[in-house]
């Protein structure tokens, strides 16, 4: 698994001329935050950022992950299992090890474009307190909560996510 800054450089290289709105979900929020100061970026949307300092240990992460997983609709289980199967446990663990120590809130302090943090009200990986802290760390940050959603908002609440994107 490449370093987050390497992933950010790859994303930046693929942006084109811009302007762009960057959207990240879960651990990919770190990559998006690392690119957010690029002059082509006009806004950033972070769906369920997951580097809450309380989740930087395996024990903290597993407990919160399980508390969130039981709040997701059963209908998405096959898609999630297929994703995990194709990614594999080694890559998932490597990604978590790269992302967990990243302090997204420090990166966002320097971002001057709108930053919208979106979380589901049933998400325990990105709880309300953490989401508020992430949004508050950006000078133009704000929090949007999607009622009844857990962590997999793009899969379970795509219309609500689209509404957030259209409002930017």
pLDDT by residue (tens digit) across 5-18?
899 999 999 999 98
User: What pLDDT score was predicted for residue 24?
Assistant: 96
Residues in a beta bridge with 56: none
| Spatial CA neighbour of 46 closest among 18, 26, 64 | 26
- Is the pLDDT assigned to residue 64 strictly greater than 80? no
Q: pLDDT tens, 23-46? A: 999 889 999 999 999 999 999 999
Q: Which fold has domain 4-166?
A: Rossmann fold (3.40.50)
Find where tokens 């997983």 sit: 69
- What is the structure's pLDDT at 52? 76
Q: Among candidates 35, 73, 65, 70, which has minimal Cα distance to 48?
A: 65
pTM of the model: 0.84
The two tokens of residue 8 are 């950010």
Q: What residue spans define the domains of the chain?
A: 4-166
**Mean pLDDT for the chain?**
86
Question: Would you state the pLDDT for residue 156?
Answer: 93
Which of residues 166 and 101 earns the better pLDDT score? 166
């Amino acid at each position: 698994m490449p370093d987050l800054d390497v992933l950010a450089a790859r994303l930046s290289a693929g942006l084109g001329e811009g302007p762009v709105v960057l959207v990240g979900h879960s651990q990919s929020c770190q990559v998006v935050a690392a690119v957010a100061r690029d002059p082509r970026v006009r806004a950033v949307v972070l769906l369920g950022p997951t580097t809450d300092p309380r989740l930087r240990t395996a024990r903290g992460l597993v407990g919160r992950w399980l508390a969130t997983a039981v709040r997701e609709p059963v209908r998405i289980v096959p898609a999630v299992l297929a994703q995990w199967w194709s990614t594999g446990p080694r890559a998932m663990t490597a990604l978590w090890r790269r992302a967990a120590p990243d302090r997204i809130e420090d990166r966002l302090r320097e971002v001057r474009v709108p930053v919208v943090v979106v979380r589901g009200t049933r998400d325990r990986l990105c709880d309300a307190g953490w989401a508020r802290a992430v949004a508050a760390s950006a000078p133009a940050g704000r929090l949007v909560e999607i009622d009844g959603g857990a962590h997999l908002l793009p899969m379970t609440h795509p219309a609500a996510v689209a509404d957030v994107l259209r409002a930017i």
